[in-house]
Amino acid sequence: IILFSGYNQRSIIAFLRTIDLFKDLDIAIIASNNKDPIFLSKYKTKVVYTRKEKLLSVELFRTLKKILGFSSSLILPSTEALNRFVLNNREVLLKLGYYSPLVSKLKYETISDKIKFTNLVKQHSLQVPQEYSIEDEIIFPCVLKPKKYFSGDNKVYSPQILRSNEELAFFLEGKSINDFTIQKYIEGDSYYLLYYFYKNGNVRSFSQKNIIQQSGGKSMIACESARIHQLEVSRKYEELFLEFKFNGLVMVELKRDNSNNYFMIEANPRFWGPSQLFVDCNVNLFFDFLFENSFIDRVPRESLEMNKKYFWTGGIMSDKIKRHCEKVDFLSNFSDWYEFDIYNRKDTKKIFNSEIYEK
């Protein structure tokens, strides 16, 4: 397994903790640079190469092949940028001996590109936020989303929560409105539906309730296990993915409004940051990934634990945070969260210290 470190790092750590349970699995870590936090972890001994530049290239993979001398290797689908690169260069990488577990480029983009997945969800009569045109009387706050991963100016934009016409006009300055869609902002609880879809149609699922998130729609900071994967809404999404013949890992973000309606916000067919939660809850979807890709011969039997939480102390030190759930008295129960910190553990204690004490 080839693992690119330095991006979506918390999911990388959760995966490495899973891999560490199997002493005979061979993994090669490619560090993003010499400041990659992987060097502050137990897993630094698995680093085989440190990248000289951020840009991914076929030449980088040729260099890795010479260093590692392998005949075949799986590229872990850990980040959006990496996955898009692999899909765009799949044929040449396959000739070099690299295998990707991802679905076809067309299927991947249909799930990952926000407008395409929104259209697919609507075809299955599932709910999505109301859309506005630029001429409509927009109710603020609203959410401005890029329709595709790469916009017309070849840049990657994150969804924006905008609170006035002035903010909307300021963001769109120099950009094309045709690259974006404007949606109603849904007030309510935030959830992730998490799946592993097998090629034979089997499905393993989990869900989490999102409590605290970094501002600007960035990383989740605090989450807890949920049970919406046991509800009808989850079954309908399972049917969607099965009919679409999707396989692999995927997350669907939902918002539940006060009328108990679930609205699809986005989907990510790759690793996601709070993966340590399903690992700690003993619904380890990485086991399913490893099993279907022939790295382990069975999925270990697990005893479900639903009383776990996910927390990232370093993430809460950003300038602003967003609460998704007003019912959770987060600060008065801070110690309950702190014990589940993603990095405040023996194998990553130095990462924890660097984030807390060196800012």
Residue 23 burial class via C-beta count within 10 angstroms: exposed 0-12, middle 13-18, buried 19 and up: exposed
Q: Are 275 and 15 contacting, i.e. CB atoms less than 8 angstroms apart?
A: yes
Structure tokens at 154: 């070849």
According to the model, what pLDDT value does residue 301 have?
86
Q: Are 320 and 215 contacting, i.e. CB atoms less than 8 angstroms apart?
A: yes
According to the model, what pLDDT value does residue 10 have?
97
**349 phi/psi in degrees, rounded to 5:** -60, -35
According to the model, what pLDDT value does residue 26 have?
82
Nearest to 103 by CA among 292, 295, 272: 292
* Beta-carbon count within 10 A of 350 CB: 15
Q: Which residues pair with residue 142 across a beta bridge? A: 162, 184
What does the pLDDT profile of the chain (359 residues) look like in tens digits? 999 999 999 999 999 999 999 988 989 999 999 999 999 999 999 999 999 999 999 999 999 999 988 889 999 999 999 999 999 999 999 999 999 999 999 999 999 999 999 999 999 999 999 999 988 999 999 999 999 999 999 999 989 999 999 999 999 999 999 999 999 999 999 999 999 999 999 999 999 999 988 877 788 999 999 999 999 999 999 999 999 999 999 999 999 999 999 999 999 999 999 999 999 999 999 999 999 999 999 999 888 888 899 999 988 876 566 666 655 666 667 788 889 999 999 999 999 999 988 65
According to the model, what pLDDT value does residue 310 have?
96
| Secondary structure tally for the chain: helices H, strands E | 12, 16
Task: Compute the distance between CA of residue 73 and CA of residue 9 in angstroms, rounded to an integer.
Answer: 21
CA dihedral (284, 290, 292, 294) in degrees, to 10, reads: -150
Task: Compute the distance between CA of residue 224 and CA of residue 327 in angstroms, rounded to an integer.
Answer: 13
Task: Compute the distance between CA of residue 165 and CA of residue 343 in angstroms, rounded to an integer.
Answer: 40
Strands 160-162 and 142-146: antiparallel
* Beta-carbon count within 10 A of 164 CB: 12
Q: Are 94 and 61 contacting, i.e. CB atoms less than 8 angstroms apart?
A: no
Mutual angle of helices 105-112 and 114-123, in 10-degree steps:
90
Task: Compute the distance between CA of residue 100 and CA of residue 77 in angstroms, rounded to an integer.
Answer: 8
According to the model, what pLDDT value does residue 331 have?
63
Residue 12 burial class via C-beta count within 10 angstroms: exposed 0-12, middle 13-18, buried 19 and up: buried
Nearest to 358 by CA among 310, 316, 314, 312: 314
Ranges assigned E (strand) in 91-157:
98-99, 131-132, 142-146
According to the model, what pLDDT value does residue 125 have?
97
pTM score over 0.85: yes
Q: Cα Rg for the chain, rounded, in angstroms?
A: 20
